[in-house]
Structure 1
Amino acid sequence: MARWLLRGLVVAMGLAVALCAAAAIVLWASRPLQEGTLPLRGLTAAVTIERDAQGVPTVHARSRVDLARATGFLHAQERFFQMDLARRGGAGELAALVGAEALPFDRARRVFLLRERAREWTRRLPPEQQALLFAYRDGVNAGLEQLSADPLEYLLLRQSPQPWAVEDTFLVAAAMFFLLTDEHAERALKLARMETALPSALVDFLVPTRTPWDAPLQGEGAPMPALPGPDALDLRSLPSTLFLGEPASTRRLSGLGSNSFAVAAAHTGGGSALLAGDMHLGLDLPNTWYRMRFRVDAQDHADADRDGHVLDLVGVTLPGLPVMVAGSNGHVAWAFTNSYGAWSERVVLALAEGGYRTPEGVEAFGRHDQRLEVAAGEAVEFTVETTRWGPVVEGTTADERHAVRWLAALEGAVNLEVIGMESARTLEEAVAVLNGAGLPPQSAVVATRTGRIGWTIAGRIPDRAGPAAMRPVSWQQAGAWRGWLDESDYPRLLDPPSGRLATANARLLDGADLALLGDGGYAFAARQQRLAERLQAEPGPVDVTAALAIQTDVENHYLAHWQRYLRTLLESPEAAEYPWRDAVNALLSEAVPTATVDSARYALLRRWNQRVSDQVLHAVVAPVRARFPDFAADFPASQAAVWAMIEAQPAHLLDPRYASWPALLLDALDVVIRRAPTPVAQFRWGRINQLDMRHPLSRALPALSPLLDMPAVGLPGDRDVVRVQGPRFGASQRLIVRPGGESEGVFHMPGGQSGHPLSPHYRAGHDDWVEAQASPLLPGPTVSTLRLQPPS
């Protein structure tokens, strides 16, 4: 028996070794090409691709169409699986690749019918942009075909990659709209649900648009809305059972975030202006962006060569698109942060026989039969109902139905107009291009070689009949969206008197301009306030080195208020009974808390701040949770309301399980300390804020983690500091540049250029991002050259 068992084990091990060897061979064969000469159908002239040690390509082409074809080839070779996920995510077709687990995701996105819309958008492009898309498509498919084996992800999923369609580029763009806008107007739905159980004045206080922390470009910070008294709501009069249970995490209270700023020549030491931009996104592998340098021979690109220069751009591309998303063309540099305007709204439907009511009478629902393919499963069919305002979705209550109107589903919302940034030479030209670009509406900062700076909204803004709706509106009040806002009506700030501009996802505008954009969930403004103050306080000229120091600042001035309050609280009689009081006191100081990896003080304060926020908001929205059990008040601006309540300590908004606000605050700290795995003095922020940057497949197959994932290292930074950093969220790229001085610019990116784990470029450059070490924006010396040429 033992002999047969041993033979069986030997055979099994042999099979396992054989399978591993086969997988290794396939993995090796699927590596992207680095060197040599290759024919590429459709080229009008040879294209040279030079890679540096980090795998960053400089593409030399004789025409913009050839450049698009070569870009598609590179994207497919290095990042096709990422592109595939993005296009399927935009269309609601993910289950066909990964299985039934993705069906809820697909259903939610399929209601917008974006594949059909993307085909129409493609047909309506100007001929020159259509040519770019078709060339890019052909380059993608050629790059995919040139791989000797399918990418690893398809081997593990037992799937084959499907060819790229021309409309897939628009679906990748649509995936970014899903990421950066509130497509289902969930914020409006949550506010409406709050108002079913709370007075409107309290909702306005808990979710303010304007706060004292604001540092807008237009107007100033504002006092908090008035706090309603006990006649509006007294938590002490409610049943204690409403407050039971573990508080829902509100870790998103400060919102997600990016940072950008620009400094005019008067404050950079003369010459060109300076631009810095950190676009913060989820951290996955491969990274969102793909670095490139575009170089086009001037004689074949007259529009880009009006000043007699060769087209020369450096920055980041998004795999799936043939354009530079952010970067510098030598004359103009541009960067984005998310605008968080209200780009969707809900219309409360009135059902009637034969359809739904409109101002012109009853109208029939549109019906669109959809089929969701499922990998290794049966296809699922369902019908999307649509109205003149958009698809039908759930309402505030179970018996209510809404239509959701989302700008990305409108004709003309997505286009390739950002390509105009390649040839923009002046601030006015750049701003005009950005206003008409088909992007998720972004807060755009521009710096020029001539020393000027400016800000505007990049992306198309709907021309609404009235202000942006913050709550669901009735069908009678649903004003028309009359196409797109004229560029002359866009908010802009050119050449500000201070010579500085700073944005960080918080409110930037006031008055009519704020009403135009609405509030789609602005970030808590403490980070933007710190960025603006740090920029203003810079003692000398703001050069690249100073800009990097600003972008990696980790002082938390909002948390400093919590520290001062805690020091006072620990001196109160209520604190005497806690055995940890002296240990906590020993950590606190007058210095501003800094989110460094070794800081015990920061770890303590940040955990306490989080727990207090969870408990306070858990209590205040208890009446809402009684109607909607899964409700959580995770609005970013609620952080301002939490601090205002701690300062005011209103008895009628205190969790009735506590005798006083100090009792609640001390109990929250006690929970933090009791649940911690180490004593207070051994707290370390780096143990909490540890990088969790992983490939999608390693989450399903942990054994692949050493091959696919980045090391789990402690990182400085946090929310509410300029260097926003969490385990799975942070700067997806960092760009610092003076147009015309790109050779002195700085660039960081997590992960590496290639999506192939055996590529030498899979992790190249990642350590510079972790350590915030200045690394050059321009590609370094060439280490490999690939030449693409027309077939003979």
Structure 2
Amino acid sequence: MRDKRGRLWRVARWGLCLVLVLALTGAALAVWAVRRAFPEYGGTLTLPGLSAPVTVHRDGYGVPQIHARTETDLFKAQGYVTAQDRFWEMDYRRHLTSGRLSELFGGSQVGTDAFFRTLGWRQVAEQEWRLISPEARGHLQAYADGVNAWIADNGGPAATGDKSLEYTVLGLQNGGYTVAPWDPVDSIAWLKAMAWDLRSNLSAEVGRASLLAHGLTREEIAQLFPAYPYDRNRPIVDDGTSGVTATSAAVPPRRVLREAGPALAALRALPNLPGLLSSSGAGVGSNSWVVGGALTASGKPLLANDPHLSPSQPNIWYQVGLRCECRLNVQGFSLAGLPGVMIGHNDRVAWGLTNLAPDVTDLYLEKIDGDRYFDGTAWRDLTIRQEVITVAGGAAVPLTVRSTKHGPLLSDRSAELFGIARHQAAPGPTPSLDTEAPGVPAAAAPGPYGVALRWTALTPGRTVEAVFALNRAANWKEFRAAAALFEVPSQNLIYADVDGNIGYQAPGRVPVRGKGNGQWPVPGWDPAYDWTGYVPFAELPRQFNPPGGVIVTANQAVTGPDRGPFLTGDWSYGYRSQRVLDMIAERASRGKLDLEDMREMQFDDRNGFAPELVPSLLAAEGVTTAAARARELLRGWNFRQPADSAAAAFYNASLRHLLLRTFDEVPDGQKPASGDGSWEILRPLLGKPSSPWWDDRTTPGVESMNDMLVAAMDAAASELTDLLGEEPDEWRWGDLHTLTVRNATFGQSGIAPVEWLFNLAPVAAAGGTDLVNATGWTPEQGYEVDFVPSMRMIVDMADMDGSAWVQLSGNSGHAFHPHYGDQLELWRTGRTAPMPWSAERIRAGAEHTLTLVP
């Protein structure tokens, strides 16, 4: 018996040992699979074609500082080093911009590919390659050579885990994929994706037409798109510097008819394609400001910038420093895949960007007869382009792209992809439009139609040259010359230099319209609605050393209503910009400002509308006992929204339910969001307790403002009790308002282990929509953060070594790498990392040094 037990014990012991060995082997293989793509940050590597060795110092956050002899060597090294950290991101993005995601992910992406091929970004990028200067082509080619050298060093065309963990996962579903060489046009095409994200009011234009088709009146729609509050929130250029009279404030078209329903409904379906027609209002914003030396402790300007974008992993920005024994010495935030620095400073000049958001898109209703369209004088042949979408693991998909003189027919794509009846199958009256009042039906001749997009980014330009020119600019004159090349996307550019000057320039290709103001679709068959040209650069607003010594851009109106060329009628409403101006004025009244003041202002979380709404919430009568207990949180609240605020949790939950209930007649997907647009909608209603908007049209009674406020607070208290517990004092805004930084490709795969590999763990976020710390959320979707300050930068023109920066996650795109998410906690808590500039400070902070040799 004892021998038998001994044998069993030995067998069990050997079995346990085998399990342990297998577990350890599996763990070792997992670690190897994850770490095999981690790049070499130290030692010596060969980069063919260099004229001399290149040194790459990396600091404690993995930020490379590259020093080369020539510009060609510098950009070649930048391509190599960026690919070390971000090649999967670069590969994915070039497939996206070319409409080739199906080659990576199979048939699920055919719809997305068809849409982007219809826009034709790749074709435009190829035209721009031929348009730009030989010098710019040389820089792009050098960058591509560096990327391709990295590809050759890491498995060549084989899509293996040697390049990135994502390729290992991709191989499970698409084992036949091979990596193509990087082409300079791949770099240019990514600028089109940026322009699409920052395309201004296209969503608003579609939204107005869709609301009209849904049955809302023109007056109701106007209340949902209120005018900019010039009396309360200052524009950027408050004195009309350009002195040019508005040129395009024509009255919108009268008849956007119900017969336009199929094509406009097709466009409305486009949000089902991720990111294709996402809101470009509060979410696509940014903050930037520059304070002149008269107000600063150092006597030189301070410049701050934080662009607001959707969170993704890796972050859109790649931190880098570029120096050579030539004129180019610059550091800041680059885009992976594009040489140079997009936002940052050189040894003389600093600059920042926010979205100018001029109206650079128009939708044209087009009369269509087969493959012809009517241009107002005759029937013309549509421009037709045949393409083939290659699908991993499936049959190729043929695609026909049709365009009018205005641009591609977007209604073709959305109708095909979402089963909405195509205009060929939905004959009916053709819209007839005039200029009296939008949305009134009238008789029209029968005939099918479509909807075409005119967009400035579909005309070839030279924006990529602007990046190189900005990087070299040494003074205001050279800065403006660079800005003149910055055609698409149109951005607010702020400026500071070491001589103490500050400035602002609105660049970009802004259309001049005949009729119309860009807020409604217009008749493509009426030439009066065609664009007649672009606003000359000399007439675009600018400022240089304004008397007040402060310039703030935060997506507010650029000039007053009667000054400057017409840019758009759909601005953000200026709450963030006015808050920044007020904070600067308040701090300046107490003393000189320094970098710490800038940092605190960037993280400011005071809600700009709460002082208007909270008194009404406190005065409402008839709330439940639970809501009454929760409402006590608002008494004495300072209107700030740190992550640990109980009052902010209840306030925002009440606002959410108020918006959803008050605007129940507005269709899903178009209800007012949580930002300053909804604040401007609600503001006048708080003084109209019997407004029809307060009535719940699903009930037989007629509700008042008090009824809606009570219902919203009751619903909020019930929701937070379910989610956060019964004690209001223990509620926390950050427990609702969480941020999950998701991988752009596999982060929403629906496969939990894959998502765990690539996503960063959720964190509690402070701030909110259209607060200066702009962590946005959408009431129809809950409280989760859906756009963020994607980075923060503060440049001290008196001491560039004292400048500071941080990005959302980390500089590395490799999951589990130490720098994959090492900046997230800094970002979340309003802190920054050092942004060293001098060679001595860079060497002192270097944790790794890599030498690239010919």
- TM bucket (normalised to shorter chain) is 0.7 to 0.9
CA distance in 2: counterparts of 1:383 and 1:8, whole angstroms = 62
1:558 corresponds to 2:598: no
- Determine the structure 1 residue equivalent to 2:331: 314
Q: Are 1:121 and 1:414, in contact at CA under 8 Å, matched by a contact in 2?
A: no
Q: Percent identity?
A: 27
Partner of 2:165: 152
Which residue is equivalent to 1:773?
Answer: 831
C-alpha contact 2:237 2:541 (8 A) present in aligned 1: no
1:215 maps to which residue? Answer: 234
TM-score by length of 2: 0.80
* SS of residue paired to 2:140: helix
Residue type of the alignment partner of 1:709:
N
Give distance in 1, aligned partners of 2:45 and 2:507.
38
**Which residue matches 1:500?**
550
Two-structure CA RMSD over aligned residues (Å): 3.0
CA drift of 1:31 comes to 1.5
Structure 2 residue aligned with 1:742, among 800, 805, 825?
800
**1:194 and 2:194 correspond:** no
- Return the match for 1:356 from 359, 367, 373: 373
Match of 1:243 in 2: none
CA contact 1:251–1:610 (8 Å) conserved in 2: no
Q: 1:765 to 1:285 in 2, by over 3 A?
A: same
The Cα of 1:278 is off from its aligned counterpart by 0.6
Query: Are the structure 2 counterparts of residues 252 and 266 from structure 1 closer, same or farther at C-alpha, using a change threshold of 3 Å?
Result: same
Gaps of 5+ in 2: 1-13, 156-161, 172-176, 241-277, 416-422, 427-447, 777-784, 837-841
Is the partner of 1:133 in helix, strand or coil? Answer: helix
Change (3 A) 1:528 1:706: same
The one-letter code sitting in structure 2 at the alignment partner of 1:655 is: D
With over 3 angstroms needed to count, the CA separation of the structure-2 counterparts of 1:414 and 1:430, relative to structure 1, is: closer
Q: Secondary structure at the match of 2:663?
A: helix
Q: Is the 8 A contact 2:512 2:532 kept in 1?
A: yes
Q: Of the candidates 702, 705, 730, which is equivalent to residue 682 of structure 1?
A: 730
- SS of residue matched to 1:98: helix
Map 1:776-787; keep pairs closer than 5 Å: 776-778=834-836, 781-787=845-851
Where in structure 2 are the equivalents of 1:584-733 lying within 5 Å? 584-619=630-665, 621=666, 625=667, 632-634=671-673, 637-653=677-693, 654-656=695-697, 657=699, 658-676=702-720, 677=723, 678-679=725-726, 680-695=728-743, 696-700=745-749, 701-705=751-755, 707-726=757-776, 727-733=785-791
Mark the CA change 1:740 to 1:43 in structure 2 (over 3 Å): closer, same or farther.
Answer: farther
Distance 1:444 1:772 in 2: 24
Instruction: Pick the aligned partner of 1:142 from 126, 136, 149.
Output: 149
Residues 5-30 of structure 1, C-alpha deviations (whole Å, 9 max, x = no match) = xx999999999986765554343322
How many angstroms apart in 2 are the aligned matches of 1:19 and 1:128? 51
Would the alpha carbon gap of residues 252 and 662 (structure 1) be closer, same or farther in structure 2, given more than 3 Å must change? Answer: farther
Structure 1's 14 and 111: CA in aligned 2 closer, same or farther, altered over 3 A?
farther
> Separation in 2 of the partners of 1:118 and 1:341?
22
Secondary structure in 2 matching 1:659: coil
Distance 1:579 1:339, change over 3 A: same
Asked if the contact 2:332–2:345 (Cα under 8 Å) also holds between the matched residues in 1, the reply is yes
2:138 equivalent to 1:131: yes
Counterpart residue identity of residue 508, structure 1: V
Match of 2:75 among 68, 78, 87: 68
How far 1:346 moved relative to its partner? 0.8
1:528 aligns with 2:568: no
Find 1:204's aligned residue among 222, 233, 236.
222
The TM-score with structure 1 as length reference comes to: 0.86
Alpha-carbon deviation of 1:350?
Answer: 1.9
Alignment pair present for 1:170 and 2:188: yes
Whether the 8 Å CA contact 2:509–2:535 is kept in 1: the answer is yes
Among 330, 343, 349, the alignment partner of 1:332 is: 349
* Cα distance per residue 1:52-102 (max 9 Å; x no partner): 121111110111111111010011111011112222222222121122222
Are 1:72 and 1:138, in contact at CA under 8 Å, matched by a contact in 2?
yes
Cα distance in 2 for residues equivalent to 1:72 and 1:753: 15
Structure 1 match to 2:539: 489
Are the aligned partners of 2:283 and 2:308 in contact in 1 as well (CA < 8 Å)? no
2:345 and 2:238 map into 1 onto residues whose CA distance is: 30
Partner of 2:271 in structure 1? none
Structure 1 residue matching 2:309: 3-state secondary structure: strand
Matched, 1:29 2:29: no
Q: Is the 8 A contact 1:467 1:516 kept in 2?
A: no
> Secondary structure of the residue that 1:533 maps to in structure 2?
helix
- With 743-752 and 428-437 compared, the bigger mean Cα shift is at 428-437
**Which of 42, 50, 60 in structure 2 is aligned with 1:43?**
50
Q: For the structure 1 residues 220 and 166, does the alpha-carbon distance in structure 2 shift closer, same or farther, using more than 3 Å as the test? A: closer
Structure 1 residues 124 and 253: CA distance shift in structure 2, 3 A: closer
Q: Residue 850 of structure 2: SS of its match in structure 1?
A: strand
What residue number does 1:102 align with? 109
**Separation of aligned partners in 2, 1:80 and 1:166:** 15
Taking the aligned partners of 1:596 and 1:769, their CA distance within structure 2 comes to 14
Q: Does 1:409 align with 2:458?
A: yes
- For 1:101 and 1:510, how far apart are their aligned partners in 2? 47
Bigger mean CA deviation after superposition, 204-213 or 128-137: 204-213
Distance in 1, matches of 2:704 and 2:556, equals 33
1:568 maps to a residue whose letter is A
- What is the match of residue 430 of structure 1? 479
Matched, 1:377 2:394: yes
Structure 1 residues 562 and 173, CA gap change in structure 2 (3 angstroms): same
- Inter-partner Cα distance in structure 1 for 2:600 and 2:549: 19
Q: Give per-residue Cα distances to partners, 1:24-48, cap 9 Å, x unaligned.
A: 4343322112122222122122211
2:122, 2:488 → 1: CA distance?
Answer: 17
CA-CA distance at 1:459 after TM superposition = 3.3
Mark the CA change 1:506 to 1:533 in structure 2 (over 3 Å): closer, same or farther: same
Instruction: Give yes or no for contact 1:274–1:736 (8 Å, CA) kept in 2.
Output: yes
Give the counterpart letter for 1:317 in structure 2.
S
Partner SS state of residue 323, structure 1: coil
* Matched residues, number: 732
435-444 vs 385-394, greater mean Cα deviation: 435-444
The offset of 1:210, in angstroms, is 1.3
Residues 325-384 of structure 1: CA distance to partner in whole angstroms, max 9, x if unpaired? 000112111111112221110111122476111144221001111212222222211201
Amino acid at match of 1:201: E
The letter of the residue matching 2:764 is: G
State the AA in 1 paired with 2:660: D
Q: What amino acid is aligned across from residue 197 of structure 2 in structure 1?
A: L
Tell me, which stretches of 5 or more residues in structure 1 are unaligned? 1-6, 222-249, 305-310
- The one-letter code matched in structure 2 to 1:750 is L
Greater Cα shift, 166-175 or 726-735: 726-735
* Counterpart Cα distance in 2 of 1:402 and 1:251: 19
Contact 2:402 2:409 in 1 (8 A): yes
- Partner Cα distance (1:600, 1:145) in 2: 55
